């Protein structure tokens, strides 16, 4: 197993281009299963989770042409249903959360599917009840057998219905949406997730011939069609990676330009970093973060401590809270980080405390960070391990800012979501290498 060795404390400088969005890619790749026509998708991130999903597609019988490492053509002409009953399917599906979204398009197209217990980050309990209830409401019979959910319809057709989701789950919205575009009649999904990832999925489905109204809102109306066609689609830049670069630039006193962004998809991300006192210049297609020695956390208007928390779009994505927490360790001032959605995502703070950060973990969901104002830099550590993608990149950012040498193990977690991260950091001037 490889590890990252980092010599921290260096200021970086240069330009970066964000990869394609991981969260969008997992959805739109599953959408290729809705048709037997060819679908071309560009800007696919070359990361472990996507490679795993593409590998599952090969076993499913999908014809795949690699035009280059970020551009593929798919054709799901002949689906191998026998693969769903194999140990290989269970093993591969257990590695990524996105495997659960195979069920929706297969179910909509064929009236039957197998839905495994998905894998992915270990950040607390992640129920799939919203997926199951949505499918049942569309007329699906579901049984649990041999660690998978077996989904069937009596007449091979889903029937549209008015659905109210119990939570604004991104993956559940995507799964139910992909099933409903081929259902009979009208389907209404209320309390749907409306993140840019879902908007991009809707855009692709409409290009394939789907009828969807309300894109960008939490009320989607879908009129089922008989079949969908092929299309071309390009994945948007990864907004989580853009936020990662902003945080990295601030805590390492670096000057970085993030190019080829889609500004409208960033929502309140840039404003949230500004609340930490981070300076950045926003332009039409790039963000400039100047080198800054110090940054001060703002307070609420009544003088109380600033609280930053996650919320469904257009609120702050939970995927950035770990990064914001790390950046706050070197700010001037204190802040309360409230992770509402996942109860285990803040447990990596013990590593930061060992590195010299002043953090009080109030409970599984809340942590108070008392910034060191860069007067006392974090110390390097050889005992860092990446428990999930976002805490992994957060520890990497902390190590790059720390004084001395750090070793990060389990870097496969980081590489599940970040493409060639060590190579790209070295181009900016970071001291990072791979060791056995």
Task: Give the catalytic positions in this structure.
Answer: 121
Taking the C-alpha atoms of residue 395 and residue 275, their distance in angstroms, rounded to an integer, is: 22
CB 401 within 8 A of CB 10: no
Taking the C-alpha atoms of residue 417 and residue 45, their distance in angstroms, rounded to an integer, is: 8
Q: Of 369, 314, 313, nearest to 338 (Cα)?
A: 369
User: Residue 55: how many CB atoms within 10 A of its CB?
Assistant: 14
CB 181 within 8 A of CB 213: no
User: Residue 431: how many CB atoms within 10 A of its CB?
Assistant: 14
**Half-sphere exposure of residue 101: CA atoms within 13 angstroms, side-chain side:** 28
CB 39 within 8 A of CB 73: yes
Taking the C-alpha atoms of residue 119 and residue 412, their distance in angstroms, rounded to an integer, is: 14
Contacts of 71 (CB under 8 A, 6+ apart): 40, 41, 42, 43, 44
CB 62 within 8 A of CB 33: yes
Query: Residue 163 is encoded by which pair of tokens?
Result: 């659905």
Q: Of 277, 247, 220, nearest to 396 (Cα)?
A: 247
Query: Residue 300 is encoded by which pair of tokens?
Result: 């609420």
Helix, coil or strand: residue 219? strand
Taking the C-alpha atoms of residue 322 and residue 398, their distance in angstroms, rounded to an integer, is: 11
The residue ranges of DSSP E strands in 79-157, in sequence order, are 112-116, 141-145, 148-152
Peptide bond before residue 114 is cis, with ω within 30 degrees of 0: no
For residue 370, the Cα-to-chain-centroid distance in whole angstroms is 28
Q: At what angle do helices 103-110 and 170-180 cross, to 10 degrees?
A: 10
Q: Of 96, 86, 94, 163, nearest to 132 (Cα)?
A: 163
């Amino acid at each position: 197993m490889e590890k990252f060795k980092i010599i921290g404390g260096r200021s970086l400088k240069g330009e970066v281009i964000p990869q394609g969005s991981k969260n969008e890619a997992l959805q739109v790749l599953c959408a290729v299963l809705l048709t037997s026509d060819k679908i071309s998708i560009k800007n696919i991130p070359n990361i472990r989770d996507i490679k795993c999903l593409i590998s599952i597609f090969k076993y499913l019988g999908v014809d795949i042409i690699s035009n280059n490492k970020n551009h593929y053509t798919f054709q799901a002409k002949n689906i191998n249903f026998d693969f769903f009953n194999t140990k290989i399917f269970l093993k591969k599906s257990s590695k990524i959360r996105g495997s659960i979204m195979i069920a929706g398009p297969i179910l909509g197209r064929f009236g039957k599917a197998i839905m495994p217990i998905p894998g992915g980050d270990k950040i607390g309990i992640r129920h799939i009840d919203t997926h199951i209830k949505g499918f049942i409401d569309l007329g699906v019979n579901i049984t649990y057998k041999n660690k998978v959910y077996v989904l069937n319809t009596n007449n091979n057709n889903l029937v549209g219905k008015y659905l109210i989701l119990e939570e604004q789950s991104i993956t559940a919205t995507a799964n139910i949406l992909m099933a409903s575009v081929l259902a009979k009649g009208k389907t209404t999904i209320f309390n749907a997730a409306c993140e840019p990832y879902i908007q991009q999925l809707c855009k692709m489905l409409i290009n394939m011939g789907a009828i969807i109204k309300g894109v960008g809102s939490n009320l989607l109306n879908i009129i089922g069609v008989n079949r969908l066609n092929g299309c071309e689609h390009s994945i948007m830049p990864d907004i989580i990676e853009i936020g990662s670069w902003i945080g990295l630039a601030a805590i390492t006193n670096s000057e970085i330009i993030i190019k080829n962004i889609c500004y409208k998809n960033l929502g309140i991300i840039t404003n949230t970093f500004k609340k930490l006192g981070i300076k950045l210049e926003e332009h039409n297609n790039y963000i400039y973060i100047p080198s800054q020695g110090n940054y001060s956390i703002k307070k609420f208007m009544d003088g109380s401590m600033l609280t930053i928390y996650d919320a469904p779009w257009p609120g702050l994505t939970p995927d950035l809270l770990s990064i914001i927490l790390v950046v706050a360790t070197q700010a001037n001032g204190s802040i309360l980080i409230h992770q509402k959605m996942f109860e285990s995502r803040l447990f990596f703070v013990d590593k930061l405390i060992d590195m010299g950060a002043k953090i009080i973990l109030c409970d599984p969901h809340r942590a108070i960070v008392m910034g060191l104002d860069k007067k006392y830099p974090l110390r390097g550590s050889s005992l860092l391990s990446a428990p999930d993608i976002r805490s992994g990149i957060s520890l990497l950012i902390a190590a790059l800012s720390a004084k001395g040498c750090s070793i990060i193990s389990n870097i496969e977690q980081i590489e599940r979501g970040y493409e060639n991260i060590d190579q790209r950091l070295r181009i900016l001037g970071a001291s990072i290498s791979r060791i056995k």
